[in-house]
Amino acid sequence: MSPARAREEAPVRLFKSDFLEFFTHISPVVVLVVWLPAIAWFVWRAFAGRPQGAWLHIPLGFLLGLVVWTPSEYLLHRFVFHFHPKNPSERMQRLLFLVHGVHHAQPRSKTRLVMPPVLSIPLSALFYGLFYALVGLLLNAPHWVAPLFAGFLAGYVVYDMMHYSIHHFSMKKGLLKIIRQHHMAHHFKTPEMRFGVSSPLWDIIFRTNPAD
């Protein structure tokens, strides 16, 4: 099915199995239901596990986690979601379409605009392991891990909600207008450029934000 044709039709079916197909459709509400309690739990862990009398690292760690999300979003989008192997097999082409290609084929499909938990939960576990290894073990600062990861998850939630909003709400003023125009240009003008969704910052830094 061509991308142009796919945009005009109902959501393309990805699996023959109704069970598997069910997990490819997700409401943005699910993201909030799954991840807001997770963020709250990591904030609670940050307070419960803090050294006696210490607390300043919690808001600082949360803010730093938010900041760390932004390059992670850019790098995932650029090098994972837009991965283009040389001479890909048919199976690899299908996998890439399942991961992100379907979104470019049908950018306004309401149930395929946020990351399904079957993908976001394993990714979050991987990132938590990286935070724990680098901050908790290598830097010997385990009390920083929970607030950092809470902020990182909050950045992810903002990204997913922003992505849904960009595709389905009018943003006609200020920074939101700039962000929407940036992402729409990624879809309809330069699909191999402009990888930032919640911010164009890293496209500017890495020169993937063409002037046209």
Task: Provide the angle, in degrees to the nearest 10, between the axes of the packed helices 28-48 and 117-131.
Answer: 20
> At 190, phi and psi to the nearest 5?
-135, 75
**Which positions ≥6 away from 67 have C-beta within 8 Å?**
151, 155
Note the pLDDT tens digit of each residue in 13-72. Answer: 888 888 888 888 889 999 999 999 999 999 999 999 888 878 899 999 999 999 999 999
Q: Answer whether 143's CB lies under 8 Å from 46's CB.
A: yes
Could you please report the per-residue DSSP string of 69-107? HHHHHHHIIIIIIT---SS--HHHHHHHIIIIIHHHHST
Side chain identity at 143, as an amino acid letter? H
Positions in the chain short of pLDDT 70 = 1-9, 212
pLDDT at 105 (0 to 100): 85
Kindly state the DSSP code that residue 52 receives in the 8-state scheme: T
For tokens 């199976």, the residue is 91
pLDDT at 1 (0 to 100): 43
119 vs 138: CA distance, rounded Å: 27
